[in-house]
Chain A
Amino acid sequence: DTVLTQSPALAVSPGERVTISCRASESVSTRMHWYQQKPGQQPKLLIYGASNLESGVPARFSGSGSGTDFTLTIDPVEANDTATYFCQQSWNDPTFGAGTKLELK
């Protein structure tokens, strides 16, 4: 299985820029996708194909990367961005990162 490694948690102030990283144990090309999950809710797709913004998702969210290193950027961060963010690869059987919990200061 392709293992995806994410930092466990981040804390930022509203209005700041935050980058959330995801490293794959092998190259997944650009077949990396990002989800937001708020407590008690299902995950929501934000970014697909490493850098494509899902319809209806604010342009404050962006994604970049290829190969093994990927980044989700939120700029500027808003209060309601408090959530856990997961990366997921589809190069082979789908696997998810453990999630990065974003908290607002």
Chain B
Amino acid sequence: EVQLVESGGGLVQPGRSMKLSCAASGFTFNNYDMAWVCQAPKKGLEWVATISYDGSSTYYRDSVKGRFTISRDNAKSTLYLQMDSLRSEDTATYYCARQEDYFDYWGQGVMVTVSS
């Protein structure tokens, strides 16, 4: 059974940093691209970033370029999202997802609240 379990969320002040993790199991992690998708409270879904199966390529939405860094450790089957210079508008639930051409498996999500 495919499982994706996020951790690392919480309350953080504007301008500070936070790192999210996503532990994967039930599939061969290093065969798949992975992504982060966020959802602001009562809002829709927004793709945040994607990393290729081997970590050689990364892609970001414009609003997080230069502030967020997606990475992975294939030996640990773990995906990461380093979020720097956080803004109030980054407040959302962050999901990790396995990415084919679509997102076929999602974690349960972790809440990030950016507030003073």
A43 touches B101 (CB 8 A): no
With A42-B95, A42-B109 as known contacts, state yes or no: A97 contacts B104, CB within 8 Å.
no
A45 touches B108 (CB 8 A): no
A90 cross-chain contacts in B, Cβ below 8 A: 101-102
A48 touches B44 (CB 8 A): no
A88 touches B108 (CB 8 A): no
List B7-61 residues whose CB lies under 8 Å from chain A.
35, 37, 44-47, 50, 59, 61
B102 touches A33 (CB 8 A): yes
* Nearest-neighbor residue (CB-CB) of A52 within chain B: B102
* Nearest-neighbor residue (CB-CB) of B103 within chain A: A45
B47 touches A93 (CB 8 A): yes
A45 touches B104 (CB 8 A): yes
Query: Which applies to chain B's interface (DSSP): helix, strand, loop or mixed?
Result: strand
With A48-B101, A99-B44 as known contacts, state yes or no: A93 contacts B107, CB within 8 Å.
no
CA distance A86 to B37 in the complex (A): 13
* Nearest-neighbor residue (CB-CB) of B95 within chain A: A42
Nearest-neighbour CB distance to chain A for B52, whole angstroms, equals 15
CB < 8 Å neighbour of B101 from A31, A97, A99: A31
- Count residues of A near B (Cβ-Cβ below 8 Å): 21
A44 touches B106 (CB 8 A): yes
A88 touches B45 (CB 8 A): yes
A96 touches B101 (CB 8 A): no
B44 touches A98 (CB 8 A): yes
CA distance A48 to B100 in the complex (A): 10
Q: Mark A44-67, 1 if CB is under 8 A from B, else 0.
A: 110011000010000000000000
CA distance A44 to B106 in the complex (A): 7
15 examples of A-B residue contacts, CB within 8 angstroms: A31-B101, A33-B103, A35-B45, A43-B95, A44-B106, A45-B105, A48-B100, A48-B101, A48-B104, A93-B61, A94-B35, A96-B44, A96-B45, A96-B47, A97-B44
Q: Using A33-B102, A33-B103, A99-B45 as known contacts, list a sample of 4 further A-B pairs with CB atoms less than 8 Å apart, ordered by residue number in A.
A: A35-B103, A48-B101, A49-B102, A94-B103
